[in-house]
Amino acid sequence: MPRLPSTTALAVLVTFLGPPNRPVRAESPSAPPPAAAALVLAEPQPAWRASRVIGSPVFNAEEEQVGAVVDLVLLEDGRVASLVLGVGGFLGVGTKYVGVPMAELRFLPGPRGAPRLVTGMTREALREAPAFDLDAESR
């Protein structure tokens, strides 16, 4: 009978002491976490956030408002390929959507720091341009 306490004591020791200590290899992460310097803490100047661009009016060379930005089209690398403008119509009724390449637009500082977008395209050219399909599938 005295064997039971010694067997129990041995089981407790093995449980708590475990196998002999072996060095633990550090797992290397698949990708290092981003460095703090790589994060953007403020809007670089001159630059505008998308939330300030969407809804902005677009003017032609004659200072006439020819449309307003309703969406941005981004490339896989994050660059803006084009802006989708709402042109024509009145209070959203009869508005046509047109994709305008960034090469056709210039960002200028406007009142209160809002972007002022200017295009060399005429009002007629925008009205005659092919419509942009806002309902088309995108990624």
Domain ranges of the chain: 50-128
Q: Tokens 């959203």 correspond to what residue?
A: 92
Does position 117 have pLDDT exceeding 70, yes or no?
yes
Query: How many CA atoms does the CB half-sphere of 9 hold within 13 Å?
Result: 5
pLDDT digits over 11-66, tens only?
544 444 555 555 555 555 566 665 555 666 666 666 778 888 899 999 998 889 99
Question: In this structure, what token pair is assigned to residue 60?
Answer: 């032609």
Best CA proximity match to 103, nearest among 116, 86, 120: 120
- Whole-number average pLDDT of the chain: 77
* CATH number for region 50-128: 2.30.30.240
